[in-house]
């Protein structure tokens, strides 16, 4: 398949691109997903095919070799990829967040140095915020970077790195000063490493974390012992802006999670619609029974509402407006809808839904990731509640 042409060339319109991704999903992802998931192996062939399609440069500006497409187009791509296999969409998420950080906060040298290679997929990126004792509480991170001449010496442990082994670039949140409030002492380093290596300099990449779902894509722990990063790797060339920078990227990650959830939920709905018309009980297809019809009606309504909410959040972020409220709402609602729809899909499939021969079993295992990824839904509720109070003070 041909790669994605730059948006300003007008060669590939939004709908044509989405149709291209739909075909890619149908022809290359869906037939292979069950095997990749079962074996929990890195799908190198699919990642290479995504690179050839130009999917790693979708949002990178054309001036830096990307397609320069908007966030709404990107979320449409994510939804379609997740429809085939949710793990595939994960290869884009952290990569996209790192591209966003460099595009919006990086120095011109950092943009010139990294964005063209990220856009082509020559190198892929990871986004590193969480630690063993710090996830939702970002200000509690302990990984420290100490300036030593023209380098930073980094020590600490990072957790839950998606793309962590295969990435050639990691956007990493570190502590560069002890100040109060503590989040003001955080900075972002752009850490380069050899893709696929388990040891490089002071970096050690741990084995894959065995997960309930979201398999095939590697999720690892990354340890740093006196690892040196040039000062040119400080995002934007200025310390103590890391919290604001990373939270801006997290907004996009939450929109991505919402789109992923819609894709998985749509697949669960489609599988249920098909199964309900093929499976017979008491002399007729189960779709003819009111109990099943009611479930299908509720599932379809929830999926449509979730899609509209995900798109609304994407549009708000595209306009350059503050989007933490809408992104948080979309992430919360869409992920919960996905989980509810997958549970109902399993019920409709009965015993077959519990069997690995049917995709519902995989969807059911993948769905919980969206509830805990990019900040748990309990954290989303805190964010949403506080923001609502800000906007509606008595």
Q: Which residues are catalytic?
A: 374
- Beta carbons within 10 angstroms of residue 151's beta carbon: 16
Residue 221: what are its φ and ψ, rounded to 5°?
-95, 145
Instruction: Spell 287-302 as b/e; 16+ CB within 10 A means b.
Output: beeeebeebbeebbeb
Closest CA to 235 of 220, 248, 221: 248
Supply angle C-alpha 7, 13, 15, rounded to 5. 140
Plot region of 322 (φ>0 → left; ψ -120 to 50 → alpha; else → beta): beta
CA gap 46, 33 in Å, rounded = 10
Structure tokens at 159: 């957790």
Burial class (CB in 10 A: 0-12, 13-18, 19+), 3: middle
Q: Which residue has the tokens 């999670």?
A: 257
> Cβ contacts of residue 343 below 8 Å, gap of 6+?
364
User: What long-range pairs does 14-18 form, CB within 8 A, spacing at least 24?
Assistant: 14/69, 14/72, 14/73, 14/76, 17/69, 17/73, 17/77, 18/73, 18/76, 18/77, 18/80
Burial class (CB in 10 A: 0-12, 13-18, 19+), 155: middle
Closest CA to 373 of 49, 129, 84: 129
CA gap 156, 226 in Å, rounded = 9
> Cβ contacts of residue 188 below 8 Å, gap of 6+?
101, 105, 171, 172, 173, 174, 234, 235, 236, 241, 242, 245, 246
Going from the C-alpha of 317 to that of each of 210, 270, 325, the distances in angstroms are 34, 29, 11
3-state secondary structure of 20: helix
3-state secondary structure of 272: helix
3-state secondary structure of 362: helix
């Amino acid at each position: 398949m041909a790669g994605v042409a730059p948006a300003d060339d007008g060669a590939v319109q939004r709908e044509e691109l989405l149709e291209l991704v739909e075909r890619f999903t149908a022809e290359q992802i869906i037939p292979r997903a069950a095997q990749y998931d079962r074996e929990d192996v890195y799908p190198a062939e699919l990642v290479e095919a995504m690179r050839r399609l130009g999917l790693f440069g979708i949002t990178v500006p054309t001036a830096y070799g990307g397609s320069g497409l908007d966030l709404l187009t990107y979320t449409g791509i994510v939804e379609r990829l997740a429809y085939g296999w949710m793990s595939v969409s994960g290869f884009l998420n952290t990569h996209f967040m790192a591209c966003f950080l460099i595009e919006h906060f990086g120095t011109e040298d950092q943009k010139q140095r990294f964005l063209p290679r990220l856009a082509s997929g020559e190198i892929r990126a990871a986004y590193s915020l969480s630690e063993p004792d710090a996830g939702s509480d970002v200000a509690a991170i302990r990984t420290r970077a100490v300036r030593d001449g023209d380098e930073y010496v980094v020590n600490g442990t990072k957790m839950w790195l998606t793309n962590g082994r295969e990435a050639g670039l990691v956007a990493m949140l570190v502590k560069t000063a002890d100040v109060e409030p503590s989040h003001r002492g955080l900075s972002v380093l752009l850490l380069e490493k050899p893709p696929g290596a388990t040891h490089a300099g002071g970096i050690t990449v741990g084995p894959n974390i065995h997960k309930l779902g979201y398999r095939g894509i590697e999720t690892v722990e990354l340890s740093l012992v006196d690892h040196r990063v040039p000062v040119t790797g400080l995002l934007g060339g200025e310390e103590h802006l890391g919290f604001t920078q990373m939270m801006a990227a997290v907004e996009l990650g939450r929109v991505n999670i919402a789109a992923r959830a819609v894709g998985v939920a749509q697949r669960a709905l489609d599988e249920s619609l098909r199964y309900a018309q093929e499976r017979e009980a008491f002399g007729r297809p189960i779709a003819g029974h009111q109990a099943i019809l009611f479930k299908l009606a509720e599932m379809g309504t929830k999926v449509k509402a979730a899609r509209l909410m995900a798109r609304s959040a994407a549009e708000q972020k595209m306009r350059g407006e503050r989007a933490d409220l809408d992104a948080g709402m979309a992430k919360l609602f869409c992920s919960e809808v996905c989980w509810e729809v997958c549970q109902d899909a399993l019920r409709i499939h009965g015993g077959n839904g519990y069997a690995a021969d049917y995709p519902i079993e995989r969807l059911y295992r993948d769905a919980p990731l969206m509830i805990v990824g990019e900040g748990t839904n309990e954290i989303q509720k805190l964010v949403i509640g506080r923001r609502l109070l800000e906007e509606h003070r008595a």
